[in-house]
Structure 1
Amino acid sequence: MRIYECADYRAMSRQAANVISAQVIMKPDCVLGLATGSSPVGTYEQLVEWYGKKDLSFARVKSVNLDEYWGLSGTHPQSYRYFMQEHLFDHVDILPENTYVPNGLAEDAGAECARYDRLIESLGGVDLQLLGMGRNGHIGFNEPGDCFELGTHIIELAPSTIDANKRFFASEDEVPRQALTMGIRHIMQAKKILLVVSGEDKADALAKALTGPVTPKLPASILRLHPDVVLVADKAALSRLDNREGVMTV
């Protein structure tokens, strides 16, 4: 794992955008696995800026998103489809038909999960998977549990996740209690993984994920078993890491 420590959120976002843009330049028809939430917003803003300067094109890129709230339509302002349109898709030249997000209104959650797995496999898997990490160590919506869920599945959101996401809704009662999420298998089968983590509130979980046991009780810990992971974090997120060996400051 390569670890980059950045001074702040803005520097972290630019460094993460560098990794993604390099992937797109090296393989213009790549498959990007994309994430939502506050962590990657600055990364998307930087990519949009570089696209506007004609430094980057997404015309041949395909994207698959990690997750979607169960019960929300893609036009709901708090859905992850809406988030992606607002922060990236509507501002670059990626083709709408090449952007994939789980369907939060599918009649059968199990069938939708199976369909999404088949879709990822039909694309040849993910070239670069962008991840954030929750305060409890979740990746995507793979919450802490007794085992790693392999395929796309429906998940009951942990109270800490609901609490963290309530700021995006009018009240906590409006936060969905379930989500569809890509499973650990397709995340770990991505050729490269880019993990972005920001903030002191995630420092404890990040330190444990990097140095503690690999366990489904801290889902991000499994990333240590992947052969090509880039972690880009700000100083606050890395503040609890005692062993600084190999950490590069940018």
Structure 2
Amino acid sequence: MRIICVDNYDQMSKKAANIVASQLILKPDSVLGLATGATPLGMYKQLIKTYEEGHIDFEEVTTFNLDEYCDLNKEDEQSYYYYMYENFFKHININIKNLNIPNGRAMDIHKESLEYERKIRKSGGIDLQVLGIGRNGHIGFNEPDIKFEALTHMVKLDEQTIEDNSRFFDSIKDVPTKAISMGIKTIMHAKKIILLASGKEKAEVIYGAIYGKITPELPASVLQLHPDVVFVMDKEAASKLDLEKLKEEYL
């Protein structure tokens, strides 16, 4: 595990973008696992800028998104398909055939989940997985108590997650209660993982993820077992950590 702590959200976004850009420079046909939500938006903006400056190329890249709400059309402004297209994909030269986002409107979610896993395996596996973290410790939409051995599957969203995501909707009643998500086991199979965290509201869960007991009750704690994971956070998210001790242990 490596810990990168910077002063603010913009610096966090640039650090994360630099890690992704380095991956693409070293392996132009990389398979990227991508996240949505407020936290990675700055990273995507920085990657677009780096692409426009001619430093990186997405032509050979394949992507797999972590999750998607159930029962939202792709055209819905709150769908993660819409999020990814508007905030990232339409601004770069990625081949649309290489984009993979779970279909939350599939008639058979179990079959869709198995097919998603098949596509990941066929691609050679995820080279670099980007994660955010929920206030309850979820990664992807893997809520507390979801077993570590889970592959891509349908999940029922916790009340905390629904409340947190309600800021993107007109009403909390409009927030979907179910989603399809990569499972913990799928995420842990990625060759490299970067987790982004910003804001003091994430400080408690970041402390638990790094120092706490490894338990499904705090899904992100499983990352302690991954051989190549980087936490990239601002100083507010890291405010409960002993940074001097971390320098000795992780940097």
TM-score scaled by structure 2?
Answer: 0.97
In the TM superposition, what whole-angstrom CA distance separates every residue of 1:131-169 from its partner, at most 9, and x where no partner exists?
000000000000001632521010000011001100100
Whether 2:97 is the aligned partner of 1:97: answer yes
1:25 matched to which residue of 2? 25
Specify every segment of 5 or more residues in structure 2 that has no aligned partner in the other structure, as ranges. none
1:16 matched to which residue of 2? 16
SS at match of 1:78: coil
Match runs of 1:1-250 below 5 Å: 1-145=1-145, 147-242=147-242, 244-247=244-247
Q: Share of identical aligned residues, percent?
A: 50
Between stretches 70-79 and 142-151, larger displacement belongs to 142-151
1:118/1:211 CA distance change after superposition, 3 Å: same
SS at match of 1:204: helix
1:120/1:245 CA distance change after superposition, 3 Å: same
Aligned counterparts of 1:12 and 1:44: Cα–Cα separation in 2:
12
In the TM superposition, what whole-angstrom CA distance separates every residue of 1:91-133 from its partner, at most 9, and x where no partner exists?
0001111010001111111111111111111111100000000
Aligned counterparts of 1:247 and 1:12: Cα–Cα separation in 2:
18
Post-superposition offset of 1:186: 1.5
In the TM superposition, what whole-angstrom CA distance separates every residue of 1:146-202 from its partner, at most 9, and x where no partner exists?
632521010000011001100100100000000000011121011000100111001
Specify every segment of 5 or more residues in structure 1 that has no aligned partner in the other structure, as ranges. none
The number of residue pairs the alignment matches comes to 249
Aligned counterparts of 1:228 and 1:204: Cα–Cα separation in 2:
23
Aligned counterparts of 2:242 and 2:21: Cα–Cα separation in 1:
31
Post-superposition offset of 1:247: 4.0
